[in-house]
A and B are shown apart, each in its own frame.
Chain A
Amino acid sequence: SQTIHQWPATLVQPVGSPLSLECTVEGTSNPNLYWYRQAAGRGLQLLFYSVGIGQISSEVPQNLSASRPQDRQFILSSKKLLLSDSGFYLCAWRGTGRGYGYTFGSGTRLTVV
């Protein structure tokens, strides 16, 4: 069966520090991969998605970047965090066949101080 792993679960980082959040999927190949952010009261904001290795689509211009170095690995990064980067970050994957919904990871709570 397919599983998605996202870590760390919580993170407290000072302003100006770098960020790296990792997401991996097991049990499938060539998934679509996604990074979302939830800020309080603002719903789900799509940040990046990828339909293949090295292919990244950015939905929102911001202080963050994403990479997909391997088929089932998706990394969210920042060189210098801002206070506004605080939030709940969710990774998700989707199979490429018809009828797939997203499967979400358990999320990372990032607090920038």
Chain B
Amino acid sequence: AQSVTQPDIHITVSEGASLELRCNYSYGATPYLFWYVQSPGQGLQLLLKYFSGDTLVQGIKGFEAEFKRSQSSFNLRKPSVHWSDAAEYFCAVGVGSGYSTLTFGKGTMLLVSP
């Protein structure tokens, strides 16, 4: 079965600094990959997704992620963090074009310091 690992439970970044959140997956073929963001007490919002093609994908709110097959990774990046980016971030993987369910990582909580 596929699995998703987000090795960082918490990350603190200064406002204006760059951000990279790590995500590794375990699956033999190329999965469908997603990043979601959740503000406190809210549902999850899709930031970006990767299915095929260009391995660098752009998302909303200035986020991007890069798929690296050799490392089984799909790390999320942002060049300059804003205080409003403080939230929990989830990486997820779906297997096969007709996947029924997504497997989520346990999330990374992003704290932004002034």
**Is chain B found bound to chain A in the same assembly?**
yes
Residues on A facing B (Cβ under 8 Å): 6, 32, 34, 42-44, 46, 49, 51, 57, 59, 88, 90, 92, 96, 98-99, 101-107, 109
Look across to chain B and name the residue whose beta carbon is closest to the beta carbon of A42: B106
Find the A residue at minimum CB distance from B97: A98
**A98 CB contact (under 8 Å) in B43, B46, B51, B101:** B51
B90 adjacent to chain A (CB < 8 Å): yes
The contact of A44 among B42, B98, B104, by CB within 8 Å, is B104
Partner of A101, one of B42, B46, B100, B106: B46
Nearest A residue to B51, CB-CB: A99
Closest chain A CB from B8 CB (angstroms): 13
Min CB distance B95 to A, Å, is: 13
**With A98-B51, A99-B51, A101-B49: A46-B101 Cβ-Cβ less than 8 Å:** yes
- A90 & B106 in contact (Cβ 8 Å cutoff): no
Known: A105-B43, A106-B42. A43 touches B104 (CB 8 A): yes
Give, as a whole number of angstroms, the nearest-CB distance from B4 to chain A: 10
Q: Does B102 contact A (CB under 8 A)?
A: yes
Instruction: Give chain B residues whose Cβ lies under 8 Å from the Cβ of A105.
Output: 43
In the complex, besides A44-B90, A101-B34, 12 extra interface pairs with C-beta distance below 8 angstroms are A32-B100, A42-B106, A49-B100, A57-B100, A59-B101, A99-B49, A101-B46, A101-B94, A102-B44, A104-B45, A105-B43, A107-B43
Q: Whose C-beta in chain A lies nearest to the C-beta of B49?
A: A101
Is the beta-carbon distance between B41 and A109 smaller than 8 angstroms?
yes
Cα distance A107–B36 in the bound complex, in angstroms: 15
